[in-house]
Amino acid sequence: MEPFDYVIVGGGAAGCILAHRLTQDGRQRVLLLEAGGEPDSRWISIPAGFSKLLTNPRYNWLFKTEPEPNTHDRIISVPRGKGLGGSTLINGMIYVRGQPADYDAWEGAGAAGWGHREVEPYFRKLEGYGGGGAARGRDGPLSLEQVRERFPIAQGFLDAAAEDGQRLNDDYNGPEQEGFGYYQVNQREGRRWSAYDAYLAPARRRPNLVVVTDAQVQRLSFDGGRCVGVVYRRGHETLSAQARLEVVLCAGAFQSPQLLELSGIGRADVLGPLGIPMRLDAPGVGENYVDHYATRMNWRVRDAVTLNEMSRGWRLMQQVARYYTQHRGILTLGTGLVHGFVKTRAEMDRPDAQYFFMHASYANAAERILDRAPGMTIGVTQLRPESVGSVHARSPDPQAAPAIRPNFLASPVDQDCMVEAMKIARRIVGRPAMRPYVAHEMSPGDAAQDDAAWLDFARRNGQTIYHPVGTCRMGSDAGAVVDARLRVNGLHGLRVVDASVIPKMVSGNIQAAVMMVAEKGADLILADRPR
């Protein structure tokens, strides 16, 4: 195979965007390598189909955390998307830009040029949203809609929030995030609109883009201090691809640091026991792992029909017919119906906790099996956790999953935020507007009356909500893995453009931030190409 100008490793959200942008002017020849396959499941386009894909090894890497004492030595599932489109094939589709201060904090941490003023135009560039004000993008490739369906119990929750003194906010991606309202999701006319749909599918018609699926990259190739390509497996064959200009890692917060380590880039105490010769001492690789940890509070519901009943029997058949004839109904729903962004202490200048309200409850959350009786759930998460973990290769075998140690709830700040956020959720549900709907609280229930009990509930029952970032941190200090132009420090011809470069967690679901990073990253790459 002739050398390409760019080799992109990973066909997730960032890889799809880069493949589109780097081939757009026709001047560069680009190879995209994806370890998974084509996004051809019938469940992908149906928003509610995420529940069928989250446990499917064809579309999910099915990673799991190491047992840790902070979460009672539980092994916690950490889904990551597999296939062209990556996690945008299986996620809850919730679109959250975050807060302006998040990106100013990136710049303050050494990521020059990544403050809110510089990144905000990239959000507008990618958005195709029909609502909101002048700050929102209208014509971008990522189709966005506000959740379509409305239910009396959801309105009751919004009314209860107002009774509690919370503001209502129709566009949390506008000037202010704080408040309650309906989520925005990447959908088009009730169908999931993934990064594959938005970016890669149109680009695949171009002759200067080659896409290879089922291609598991084994290691990076070097000529001295320059990355010149990759070695990958496809079936029983070991193949190589050369990059004339750059290799760009878009394998995500777990597999980008793993691939760097398998290529000899990392810490001596990680590489040495694996027998991997060190090419570059890079102590930050695999460190600075941050993720959103969430609890699910559940209530038994009365005098309302919830998703628990609507997803069974004749009601489900009715909803299936409605979806296929109108693209409406419960099959358009993902993981969140109503949002809440709240301050857990009145003196705060911005929200530090997020709610996900759904009129549904799980009998088995891990397997996405709903209760048979009516129920509702409020997912509760801290927006900017301070607990920091790590992700490292556990074996020189590229097929072996990395060791994922999130270190959830290690920080007292995180503990206090989660406890207070759960208390506020209980208080809102106790307001008069919700009394007609609530029979009783199922979890944590009466056992949670003091802070110690609340915290114990969080430790025993919380889960990641699949927002890993930071493991190839961007910055200007000695521990940063990439610089502000996303180039791997100490090497030439190698960049990382994905969630792993995010230096500090953003306030909300991360897919919007990852897409922004890829859009800006594409501009940086094109600006640096030889003239």
The angle at the Cα of 211, spanning 210 to 212, to the nearest 5 degrees, equals: 120
Which residues touch 261 (CB under 8 Å, ≥6 apart)?
A: 270, 271, 274, 276, 285, 286, 392, 393
The residue annotated as part of the active site, out of 292, 339, 359, 467, is: 467
Nearest to 329 by CA among 316, 314, 345: 316
The angle at the Cα of 24, spanning 18 to 26, to the nearest 5 degrees, equals: 120
Report d(CA 175, CA 187) in Å as an integer: 22
Report d(CA 187, CA 50) in Å as an integer: 13
Helices in 62-115 by DSSP H: which ranges? 100-108
DSSP codes, 353-389: EEEEEES--EEETTTTEEPSS-EEEEEEEESS----B
**For 73, left (φ over 0), alpha (ψ -120 to 50), or beta?**
left
Report d(CA 265, CA 277) in Å as an integer: 9
Structural tokens at position 271: 């590489």
Element (H, E) at 247: strand 237-249
Compute CA distances 455 → 115, 416, 450, whole Å. 34, 8, 9
Structural tokens at position 351: 């929200």
Count of beta carbons in the 10 Å neighbourhood of residue 444: 21
Report d(CA 265, CA 276) in Å as an integer: 9
Q: Residue 79, preceding bond cis, omega within 30 degrees?
A: no
Residue 72 bears catalytic tag: no
Cα atoms in the Cβ-side hemisphere of radius 13 Å centred on 288 = 25
Report d(CA 59, CA 82) in Å as an integer: 4
Q: Are 178 and 190 in contact (CB under 8 A)?
A: no
* 3-state secondary structure (DSSP) of residue 325: helix
Which residues touch 447 (CB under 8 Å, ≥6 apart)?
A: 453, 457
Q: Are 285 and 450 in contact (CB under 8 A)?
A: no
Q: What are the residue numbers of the active site?
A: 467
